[in-house]
Amino acid sequence: MGSVEVRFLPGRDFGILDHEVVFPDGTTVHNPLRVLANDTGAEVVFTPFRRPGTSEDEFDQDAALVREDLLRLRDALAG
């Protein structure tokens, strides 16, 4: 895939961490990401969208990568 650029959008003060990923070919993908207060902790919610022209297998692979990222985030914050 090569290097990608990540641009965070306004709203971080409210737990909104939406960002755009720009791929080497110039394709830009919007990724909604929220951090929601929950009792003494927080929940992180990421919604992957299936891009046009993406096969079900490719989408499943993308979702698996997101899950791995979220698990790494959980482990980093728990440690």
- pLDDT tens readout for residues 25-46: 998 999 999 999 999 889 999 9
Residues 43-70: pLDDT tens digits? 999 999 998 899 999 999 999 999 999 9
Residue 1 has what pLDDT?
65
Rounded to an integer, the average pLDDT of 7-25 is 90
Q: What is the DSSP string of 15-69?
A: TB--EEEE-TTS-EEEE-EEEEEETTEEEEEE---PPTT--HHHHHHHHHHHHHH
